[in-house]
Amino acid sequence: MSIILYGYHYSVYTRIVRMVLAAKDIAYRYVEIDPFSDNPDPAYRNLHPFGRVPVIRNGDFVLYETAPIARYLDEISPPVLLLPPDPESRARMMQIIHIADNYGYWPMVRQVFAHRVFRVAEGEEPDENVIAEGKVASRKVCKALDQLASEGNFLTGSAISHADLHLGAMMTYFTLAPEGLEIVNGFPRLLHWWRGMAGHALLSKSDPGLPVA
């Protein structure tokens, strides 16, 4: 394989793909892309028509969108490690991933974390109204995830899956904000999972850090 990963250093979604690559011990070349740039690379639009990250290239095969990338990388490098063994657990895994993407990412990462932590690290002022709005939506998301999380050490049972990496990358940022940590502390199953997952090597080794103002 000759995998190329196009990503953004601080991107949650780039981090998810990096964790899968690390879990499967897949060698790859990394190309930095800033999706927030005022002067985006026109050639990158040939890889991703919406200009987001991440994208992978494996020879002539190009793939974007994080969940399909993660599944693809897992499946082309046996043994398949990150898929639960039964259809119900696999369905739960995908449900958690879609909840994180569709309902969790914006309030948890772009509102609470970005304004309380990331903007401050860049020397900017947080918007307290945005944080307050993010807290309301994030609490609803965490309640749903708490109800779905298994009683095992991982979200779908006793073994780590794509759901743990996907949500884990978001939760790392979210809990750096005191508001985020306070919300998670109110949901026992989610908290149990996060206390175990927070120190996982795949998360710690993929930590992008924070910008320096």
What's the pLDDT score for residue 118? Answer: 98
Overall CATH class of domain 3-75: alpha beta
**Which tens digits make up the pLDDT trace of 4-23?**
999 999 999 999 999 999 99
| CA-closest candidate to residue 89, choices 156, 30, 167 | 156
**Quick check: 39 pLDDT over 90?**
no
Rounded CA separation 87/106 (Å): 29
Average pLDDT over residues 156-161: 96
- Residue 212: what pLDDT? 84
Which segments of 123-200 does DSSP mark as H helices, in order? 128-148, 162-174, 178-184, 188-197
Query: What residue spans define the domains of the chain?
Result: 3-75, 87-205
Taking only the tens place, the pLDDT of each residue in 125-136 is 999 999 999 999
Burial class (CB in 10 A: 0-12, 13-18, 19+), 136: exposed
Q: How confident is the model at residue 42 (pLDDT cuts 50, 70, 90)?
A: confident
CB 175 within 8 A of CB 203: no
Q: What does the pLDDT look like over 67-82, one tens digit per residue? A: 999 999 999 999 989 9
- Whether domain 87-205 has CATH 1.20.1050.10: the reply is yes
In the predicted model, is pLDDT for residue 1 greater than 80? no
pTM of the model: 0.96
The two domains 3-75 and 87-205 share their CATH topology (first three levels equal): no
How far apart, in Å, are the Cα atoms of 155 and each of 146, 195, 197?
A: 9, 12, 10
DSSP-assigned letter for residue 85: S
Average pLDDT along the chain: 96
